Copies of this chain bind each other. A is one copy, B any other.
């Protein structure tokens, strides 16, 4: 009957607790932004005292970086599928990048890109994630060439870079409240991808 206001102290294995903290921080990063990852905020969400967060991450910046990497790595699976028909994967990548599903992710990238201005360590982590995306997309394009969907004359890395810049360009507007609608905007990634890969116009547009 006496529901004690003080929660019983639960002790966990360090790795487990650490993972839990990072996961919670990643959730904050995606939903509220990296600068909202605060010792107190993470602690409160976990029903834990702030000092515990400091215990695992003496410097908050390290937690922020870990959270960013975790969130990006997790979302990557859906953005750049690892298996399946090359052109289908490419179409899904384009569709995801242009659709509303990627809004949170774009916001996070924007967030991290800006914050990198002040935090060299975050900038470094960000570049690593960029490199992973690049490698993955290059592989995908090479697979498309092997499959005969893309002409041999296409330089995979050049096309990859163009597509990723297009994704970031569209993502730059992730925080714009106004619903600016125009085909040139709504299909930019598809159009650039078709152009970069030498595909016929409309090949990558939804349902194309």
Number of interface residues of A (CB under 8 A): 45
Q: Is the CB of A158 within 8 A of B175?
A: no
In the assembled complex, the Cα of A185 lies from the Cα of B173 at a distance in Å of: 20
Contact A175 to B116, CB < 8 A, known contacts A169-B169, A195-B195: yes
Q: Is the CB of B120 within 8 A of A110?
A: no
Q: Is the CB of A113 within 8 A of B116?
A: no
In the assembled complex, the Cα of A157 lies from the Cα of B168 at a distance in Å of: 20
Across the two chains, which residue of chain B brings its CB closest to A126?
B176
* Main DSSP-derived SS at the A contact region: helix
Across the two chains, which residue of chain B brings its CB closest to A166?
B169
19 contacts between A and B (CB under 8 A): A33-B118, A111-B117, A113-B173, A113-B174, A114-B114, A120-B177, A123-B175, A123-B176, A127-B177, A157-B184, A162-B188, A165-B170, A165-B185, A165-B188, A166-B166, A168-B169, A168-B172, A171-B172, A192-B192
Residues of A within 8 A of B (CB): 33, 107, 109-111, 113-118, 120, 123-124, 126-127, 130, 155, 157-159, 161-162, 165-178, 182-185, 188, 191-192, 195
